[in-house]
Amino acid sequence: MQAIVKAAVVTGAGSGVGRAVAVALLQAGYSVALAGRRVETLEETIALAAVPASRALAVATDVRDPKAVEELFAAP
């Protein structure tokens, strides 16, 4: 039986509601791609969750830009 991987993409993960959602998902065992305008604030969110860095991916993304969204979903 294969393990089920729980994964999510959270936009606006650098502050406010997006940050709270990203932290809650990480602490609940999800692997999370955090999207927001500044990598620094996304990394702060990951640190707040106090989880292994391997479960989080910070990607600078302007969701108003279709190319940036494509790059978010192409990130390793």
Count each helix (H run) and each strand (E run) in the chain, helices first.
Answer: 3, 3
Give percent above pLDDT 90 in the chain.
89
Give the amino acid at 23: V
**What's the pLDDT score for residue 13?**
97
CA dist 29 → 15, 40, 55, 56, 61 (Å) = 20, 22, 8, 11, 23
Residues 7-43: pLDDT tens digits?
999 999 999 999 999 999 999 999 999 999 999 999 9
